Amino acid sequence: MSLYYNIIFCILVVEIGVFTLLAVPIPTRLRKPLTLALLKPFKNSTVQVSIRCVLAFILLLFIDSINKVYSINKELKQNTIYPAHEKIELLSRKFFQQRNLYLTGITLFLTFIVTRTFALVNELLVLKAKYKSDGGDASGSSAGVSKDELKAQIKENEDKIAALKEKAEALEKDSKEL
C-alpha cells in the first residue's frame, strides 16, 4: 500500500475510535468532558480547512479508484485470451484497486457518520443540561409556567367544556322539539 493509502487507513482507524467513544453508553458526567475535549481542536479554522482539504483529497482518490476499477473490468471483459501470468497480474491490480476503493469509500462515509453522531451527542448533552437547569420537572416548567398556573388553566378549560356541553344539550333539546 502506498503512503497516502496508509495515511487514509490511519484516518479510518481514528474515525472508528472516535465513533466508538461517541457510541458507547457512558454517564453524562464523563461524556460531557470527553465530547468537549474531542470538539476543542475542531473549533480552530485552520484545522477545519485542513480537514476539508484532506477529505477532498480522499474524495479524489475515491474517484480515481472507481475509474481504475472500471478500466480494469473493461479490460477483463474483452474477449482476448491472456497468458496466465498476465491474467493473474490483471486480477491482482483489480484486487488492489478494489481495496483502495473500499478503503477511501468507507473513510468518507464514516466521516459523515462521525460528524452526525457527534452532533446528536452534543444536542443530547445540551438538552440534558437544559432539563436539569429547569429543575427536572416534566410538567411543562420549561415553558415558564408553574404547576399552579397549569392547574388553573386546566380548571378553566374544564369549566368551558362543561358550559359547551350544556349548550349542546340545550340545542339538541330545541332541535327535537321542532
At residue 141, the pLDDT reads 47
The three grid cell numbers given for residue 51, joined into one nine-digit string: 480537514
> For 47-71, what is each residue's pLDDT tens digit?
889 999 999 999 999 999 999 999 9
User: Is residue 31's pLDDT more than 70?
Assistant: yes
Residue 27 pLDDT grade (very low, low, confident, very high; cuts 50, 70, 90)? confident
Domain ranges of the chain: 3-133, 140-178
State the average pLDDT over residues 112-140.
82
Q: Which residues are CB-contacts of 135 (< 8 A; sequence separation ≥ 6)?
A: 141
CA distances 50 to 14, 30, 56, 100, 153, Å, are 16, 29, 10, 22, 56
**According to the model, what pLDDT value does residue 148 have?**
87
